[in-house]
Amino acid sequence: MRITLLTHERELQRKTNTGALALEYCGDMVKRLVWARREPDPALLESIERGEAALVYPGGDATPERLEDFAHVILIDATWQEARKIYNHSPYLQAAPRVAIATHAESSYRLRRNQPQGGLCTAECVTEILHRHGEHTAADRLAAAYVHFNQTPHAHVEKEPR
């Protein structure tokens, strides 16, 4: 099982990026690719084409279950506005099966404003994916780091760009 964070370049500099936590606390199960609109990663494309990869992305045709059926899970690591841009400008992502993470709990992420109802941050998504794949130790380690991170005062709460 592997998780790829397809990261918007601006996210690399944000102090409120929870994808960095997943990279730090999940070992080799999580890797980051910086999104390149015109030059997608060949291994990522191949994984999608072989039907091994699913994209976690909410929307009308996303299914709320069976995430564990995929050996490779792709998450877009960006603000919600940037994530829409990445998805809309990446036909290969649109070709991947889309899976929604349905949870009964609201996101606890408070470091950015303008978060959509039902939306989870990257660390929360990775935690859920790990649990669904039976990687409970890594999921619990990330969840504990996330709780601390989410409570740590940052310079300011970031407002998502319009």
What are the beta bridge partners of residue 2? 72
- 57 contact partners, CB below 8 Å, separation of at least 6: 76, 83, 87, 93, 98, 99, 100
* Token pair for 93: 């992502």
The pLDDT profile of the chain, 162 residues, written as one tens digit per residue, is 899 999 999 999 988 889 999 999 998 999 999 999 899 999 999 999 999 999 998 766 666 557 888 999 999 999 888 999 999 999 999 999 988 887 666 665 555 555 555 568 899 999 999 998 999 999 999 999 988 888 876 544 444 444
Q: Which amino acid is residue 34, in one-letter code?
A: V
Report how far Cα 95 is from the mean position of its chain's Cα atoms: 18
- Residue 152: the pLDDT is 73
Q: What pLDDT does residue 96 have?
A: 92
H or E element: which one contains 5? Answer: strand 2-7
Type and span of the H or E element at 144:
helix 136-151
pLDDT value, residue 16: 84
Amino acid 145: pLDDT:
93
Task: Using the structure block, give the residue that is written with the tokens 């690719």.
Answer: 33
Q: Which amino acid is at 46?
A: E
